[in-house]
Structure 1
């Protein structure tokens, strides 16, 4: 048996917190991926969910937990540096007007605060007869998270569901 890495421990806590909400009916898990990249020797875990019974088009949330080669090596070689993971939270929703982006940013700043980097990436298919964009809104934390941040990780889940509720108001607008 192997000793689990910080990534494994954080992934287990994150997955448990999300699936608990799914079992309670507060969210619906729509995708999950647990990837090992052997070319870059990295790990990535994503889990995506949405609110139940939302009118179309629904907004979804994806949590991404990553650990790169440097962090994995630090842990496995028992270097004095604490191993940590990168965490990002992304939301996906369709919008029709570019002006909606500023309202989205304001809503998310009220929930997540001013210290987070909020990045919005718009895309659309060409040729596209109907106006509209796919908005990917990513919240970056600018630091690694560690095993002793488990409580913080669990405390973020209500922020994600509150964000889904707020963003649903902008979906398709």
Structure 2
């Protein structure tokens, strides 16, 4: 019989929580990937959604859950070390001015707290200098999450929804 890994269990809970919101009409799931990388022997799951009120899907949230070779091997070989996964949350939105980034960071720090690592990466099409920047804002936790953090994982979902709502005023600002 198949014994699911910590990754499988966390992915199932995460996926269920997100799809429950999709079924309730609060969000729209717009993308999902469940990948096994045989070259590096790792697993990654991403699910991307936006608020259902965002009809053009301008601002999205992507949740990424990863388990690398070291963690997978420890779990499968039943080592004493507790296997865990990396969790990252990313928000994607277009902005017009790079000065908006400090306002976005302040907004997300109020929601997620100052113990999180928040990174913003801007890109735009060349050579059009008038173009809108694509802002990819990532929130990293700086630690692994474990199966006993499953409640914490579910409690993060309202923070993601709040973040999507709070980022609305920055759309193309």
Q: TM-score range by the shorter chain?
A: over 0.9
Q: 5 Å matches for 1:19-168?
A: 19-54=19-54, 56=56, 58-128=58-128, 130-168=130-168
Deviations 1:34-53, CA, capped at 9 Å, x for gaps: 00000000000000000012
C-alpha deviation, 1:125, in angstroms: 1.2
Structure 1 stretches (4+) deviating beyond 6 angstroms?
A: none
C-alpha deviation, 1:128, in angstroms: 1.9
Q: Give distance in 1, aligned partners of 2:55 and 2:148.
A: 38
Q: Give distance in 1, aligned partners of 2:117 and 2:134.
A: 19
SS at match of 1:106: helix
How many aligned residue pairs are there? 173
C-alpha deviation, 1:28, in angstroms: 0.4
RMSD of the TM alignment (CA)? Answer: 1.0
Q: Give distance in 2, aligned partners of 1:38 and 1:151.
A: 30
C-alpha deviation, 1:169, in angstroms: 1.1
Are the equivalent residues in 1 in contact too, given 2:74–2:81 (CA < 8 A)? yes
SS at match of 1:3: coil
Deviations 1:103-126, CA, capped at 9 Å, x for gaps: 000000010000000000000111
Are the equivalent residues in 2 in contact too, given 1:50–1:164 (CA < 8 A)? yes
C-alpha deviation, 1:21, in angstroms: 0.4
C-alpha deviation, 1:58, in angstroms: 1.6
Task: List alignment gaps of at least 5 residues for structure 1.
Answer: none
Are the equivalent residues in 2 in contact too, given 1:101–1:120 (CA < 8 A)? yes
TM-score (norm. length: structure 1): 0.97
Q: Give distance in 2, aligned partners of 1:128 and 1:91.
A: 24
Are the equivalent residues in 2 in contact too, given 1:57–1:172 (CA < 8 A)? no
